[in-house]
A and B are shown apart, each in its own frame.
Chain A
């Protein structure tokens, strides 16, 4: 499958950042976490955001994920300016449009794999079957295991399944392999890439490991709160042949 074929029925400029500015603090202590970021992403893209620590990757992801508000600029998702959302509207956006994958999985320890997925699916309208999603991430025989009984990779799969179960428009992953070993990390990346292709979900992955950049449709380099450069891969590399 290639990107050109894909783009025929996918929306262009599905996600647009226009001069996004985010300031923390005030006066002399003001930190410009995002200092006029602009980029545009098409639907179904696998996007990797790379950059050094404190460059503003997470800020960008937080704003895109509706976890943070912006100071100025516009963020358009599927034509809606979510940068203007506040309070409950913002929560609702998170709830219905966003799937989030954390570095430390953030599973609820008290719920087993299936229930952790249901946790997400219970609150959305248009959801996928939790068992089905878990089967898709390869955990059909671990449904009733609690997080503590699962390996890191398995936990992350549950987390991904939880994010996917909501049928989100965007899947945002914050260092999804940061706590995993090499092989497991690769497997997770492959899962994310496959998900992106098969479910036509736009995936954002934050990483400080630029070695995974080749698997993305778009690689956004961020530096000092600005977009340093955007690199497009016409033919993204499959995750399982990446080496780092």
Chain B
């Protein structure tokens, strides 16, 4: 057996081209299979490493009333929780340079959701921040730039952040925000988070944490995206729900209640104070009034005194006047009788009376007047005194009256205050009465959009990985079949000789089996190593466009996939080898010693159509007969070329299908331009304000109100989360959302009270048709049957459309229109309209469909990667088969070709003679590939598409063109390479006898 061994290696050396053919196609098949299949686990593993390295949270808890250290403590106490940390976040509008952006501020809790500093350093005080790398790159920012906070939406900046200006000191990446383009939606600005800012905790002015991040014990050891991981985290979430949530919620509620009560008490205290003030003031008024009364009494008494004095004065005056009369009498007598010096008798008395006596008597009377005068004087004094006192008292009264005035004013003021306080108290009481227990939302990593996207990307790649290797394996089998057939027939005489020498059939066959096996095993090993090391890296690296924070790719050789692929390859190649050699081996030695009778040329079908046949030159005739004569080769090449074509078509087709999704969805079906989510708790006035704005702004052509909600729909086939859409007026619907049948695109499906319209993919998943029913979950315990009135074309998500009447019938309440669909004018500035809308108090958020369409462009980028991989594989496939075909053709027909040369054929003519076949197969292959590609494309998009999306099924014409041109180009390149081999054929080869 030694000699046969030696011969084996010599054989390989001599037929290295053939050996390489098998080796290459097997390597390609196995590599592709192992590589693409490995990409999914590798991507997950890479993700897991990355998440673990950054301590990405397993659970996130948010509460409607914020969270506190107590909550963190309680959660951290649980055994199932390894670590819990409170964190702050909030969205603001920040200005850097001249541009304003929506920036999400994040605190950096220790040991959880760690950010990776990619440049610069971490912020060290509350006036510094890091920005995320992709934002820095997109905006061309640098360390040292200043970020100024312009607004914090509905709240004051100071309520959220302690500073209004931040210095950028570094850049970072976060596994929580992996996507470069999608960082989340926001209620401020244009509603789209543009950049992230990481700041120390003390940069936040918030009193409570906005969220708590928790890592689950043992979750790091599990690989994320696996069921084991999900179960572990779900268990921890349940434990939080069971053991902590209620306690914390109660505590928080009590606290909030207490706080509300405190506020009320404070107000009430304030009220009392004000009331006391009013009472005091009233007392003051009473007192003052009493004072005034007393004073007035005093005045009256004084006035009485004055009158009395006046009377006294009058009496005294009367007395004086009376005496004066007597005095006057005396004076008259004195005057009249001054000449006499006496008063003759008879005048007065019967005697004369001297004047002196009279003077004396008069003097007595005058003197008697004096006391009266004194009395008058006295009384005048008294009067004056009284008058003064009255003036004084009157002054006091004025003062008191002013006091009353003041007090009254005070009271009025206090009453106003009181009214205010009472209102406040009412509000505060209402607030306290309305105070609801906070609601906790426990979410896991699935709430991180990029975490989900990444998983779906991995899954997509994997699903495609199942489909394509089939082509490679089939071609590998055909290549082996033709190659080994050729080899066995070349070595016919040798096989005969060995047989004659007494070697058994099996030991001879072993040589060919070993030959094929060696090529296959080597190909498998090389293919699987290169494939599973290279493909995941290429694919994952390409995903860097979407996920800039993706770290180093982890690519262990995945033994399962490698061995599976190797097993398949070996099985197929061995089967081909045995098939190729069994007939020759079965023949007896003598027959084998004779040259194999050349395969007879045969009439082909085309000959029966003389009109066509007679127009063919001998090139054509020979070509057609060759194709028919060497069927294995023909099919190998045809399958290879058509496989190549099909792969390209699938690649381009995938791109078409994906890009068409958003074009169809937002261009044809959801023709509204933006959706506005309303704040249902806003006051009616605010709502009216919003409606007025929508009606009057000339950027808006129209709007439609509807209720949108998420519901669970189920049938025996499937349970789905879908959107429930209740347009206020179904008549106006077509302006915003086209409900139409897929088959008859012109016919609008009318939305009536007879049933609901559901979207097509949903119908498919639920396995229902128009007229069927499915179940809608009303609440946790109740389901209601809905009748499908129609099935509408749709590409993204699932929707149930129903009229308000149907809604009311099912839910027993009227729909609340929480959403407005806008039809905006052409060419408006979406950003400014968005901020104008967000300025309305009744508007919660605004989302333009153009934004969703942009997001889709990112998905397209990941499809580009797949297209590239398919392109390379298609090239490899075309190369191997055409190379192999040429190799065999040239080797086998050396004599024929040399003869043609002797006959005087130019090199170009000889080449044409050989290539005609290749060209024809290439053309045929392109044709067959089109058909194959269409089917494969259908298959791929059906397997690759996720439940939420329905791919557009058609491939664009230009994709056919590209694929055909590329396939032709592959063929041409390889054929050009073979031209030189043809040129080298020696004319003397024509003289050789038949081997």
A148 touches B988 (CB 8 A): no
B601 at the interface (CB under 8 A from A): yes
B601 touches A147 (CB 8 A): yes
A122 CA / B618 CA spacing, docked (Å): 8
Taking the closest CB of chain A, its distance from the CB of B995, in whole angstroms, is 11
CB nearest to B895 among chain A residues: A106
CB nearest to B604 among chain A residues: A110
A45 at the interface (CB under 8 A from B): no
A115 at the interface (CB under 8 A from B): yes
Whether A111 touches B904, Cβ cut-off 8 Å, given contacts A102-B899, A106-B990, A146-B600, is no
CB nearest to B993 among chain A residues: A104
B625 touches A110 (CB 8 A): yes
A58 touches B626 (CB 8 A): no
A109 touches B904 (CB 8 A): no
A112 CA / B601 CA spacing, docked (Å): 8
Neighbouring A residues of B348 by C-beta, 8 Å? none
A108 touches B896 (CB 8 A): yes
Interface residues of A in 61-112 (CB under 8 A from B): 62, 65, 67-68, 88, 91-96, 98, 100, 102-104, 106, 108-112
A68 CA / B901 CA spacing, docked (Å): 12
Whether A115 touches B987, Cβ cut-off 8 Å, given contacts A94-B902, A95-B903, is no
A88 touches B597 (CB 8 A): no
B598 at the interface (CB under 8 A from A): yes
Interface string of B434-450 (1 = CB under 8 A from A): 00000000000000000
Interface size class of A (residues with CB under 8 A): 35 or more
Neighbouring A residues of B906 by C-beta, 8 Å? 88, 91, 95
Whether A148 touches B597, Cβ cut-off 8 Å, given contacts A108-B622, A118-B618, is yes
B2 at the interface (CB under 8 A from A): no
Whether A123 touches B600, Cβ cut-off 8 Å, given contacts A67-B988, A103-B991, A115-B618, is no
Taking the closest CB of chain B, its distance from the CB of A96, in whole angstroms, is 7
Taking the closest CB of chain B, its distance from the CB of A1, in whole angstroms, is 30
A171 CA / B618 CA spacing, docked (Å): 23
Judged by DSSP, the binding face of B is helix
Taking the closest CB of chain B, its distance from the CB of A34, in whole angstroms, is 15
CB nearest to A61 among chain B residues: B991
Query: B600 is contacted by which of A65, A109, A162 (Cβ under 8 Å)?
Result: A109
CB nearest to A66 among chain B residues: B904
Whether A110 touches B601, Cβ cut-off 8 Å, given contacts A115-B618, A118-B618, is yes
A174 at the interface (CB under 8 A from B): yes
Neighbouring A residues of B601 by C-beta, 8 Å? 109-112, 146-148
Taking the closest CB of chain A, its distance from the CB of B894, in whole angstroms, is 11
A98 CA / B625 CA spacing, docked (Å): 28
**A-B pairs with beta carbons under 8 A, tally:** 91
Whether A123 touches B905, Cβ cut-off 8 Å, given contacts A102-B899, A118-B618, is yes
A111 touches B905 (CB 8 A): no
Taking the closest CB of chain B, its distance from the CB of A201, in whole angstroms, is 16
A129 at the interface (CB under 8 A from B): no
CB nearest to B600 among chain A residues: A148
Interface residues of B in 885-902 (CB under 8 A from A): 895-896, 899-902
Neighbouring B residues of A104 by C-beta, 8 Å? 993-994
A149 at the interface (CB under 8 A from B): yes
Query: B904 is contacted by which of A62, A96, A108 (Cβ under 8 Å)?
Result: A96
B689 at the interface (CB under 8 A from A): no
B629 at the interface (CB under 8 A from A): yes
B904 touches A106 (CB 8 A): no
A123 touches B909 (CB 8 A): yes
Neighbouring B residues of A120 by C-beta, 8 Å? 903
Interface residues of B in 601-629 (CB under 8 A from A): 601-602, 617-618, 621-622, 625-626, 629
Taking the closest CB of chain A, its distance from the CB of B351, in whole angstroms, is 208
Neighbouring A residues of B909 by C-beta, 8 Å? 123
B155 at the interface (CB under 8 A from A): no
Interface residues of A in 142-183 (CB under 8 A from B): 146-149, 162, 166, 174
A92 CA / B907 CA spacing, docked (Å): 11
A156 CA / B597 CA spacing, docked (Å): 17
A191 at the interface (CB under 8 A from B): no
Scoring A98, A146, A166 by chain B CB atoms within 10 A of each residue's CB, the highest score goes to: A146
B904 touches A95 (CB 8 A): yes
B621 touches A115 (CB 8 A): yes
A65 touches B621 (CB 8 A): no
A23 at the interface (CB under 8 A from B): no
A237 at the interface (CB under 8 A from B): no
B618 touches A94 (CB 8 A): no
Interface string of B971-995 (1 = CB under 8 A from A): 0000000000000000110110110
Whether A98 touches B904, Cβ cut-off 8 Å, given contacts A147-B598, A148-B597, is yes
A65 CA / B629 CA spacing, docked (Å): 33
B905 touches A91 (CB 8 A): yes
Interface string of B531-569 (1 = CB under 8 A from A): 000000000000000000000000000000000000000
A209 CA / B753 CA spacing, docked (Å): 106
B618 touches A102 (CB 8 A): no
Interface residues of A in 115-130 (CB under 8 A from B): 115, 118-120, 122-124
Neighbouring A residues of B629 by C-beta, 8 Å? 110
B991 touches A174 (CB 8 A): yes
Taking the closest CB of chain A, its distance from the CB of B885, in whole angstroms, is 16
A124 CA / B904 CA spacing, docked (Å): 9
Query: A148 is contacted by which of B598, B991, B994 (Cβ under 8 Å)?
Result: B598
A45 CA / B622 CA spacing, docked (Å): 36
A110 CA / B621 CA spacing, docked (Å): 8
A-B contact pairs, 5 of them (CB 8 A): A58-B991, A95-B903, A106-B990, A110-B626, A148-B600
Given pairs A103-B993, A111-B618, 17 additional interface contacts (CB within 8 A): A67-B987, A91-B904, A91-B905, A91-B907, A96-B904, A98-B904, A102-B991, A106-B899, A108-B618, A109-B598, A109-B600, A110-B625, A111-B621, A115-B618, A118-B618, A123-B904, A146-B601
The 8 closest A-B pairs by CB, nearest first: A95-B904, A148-B600, A94-B904, A146-B601, A106-B899, A110-B625, A110-B601, A67-B987
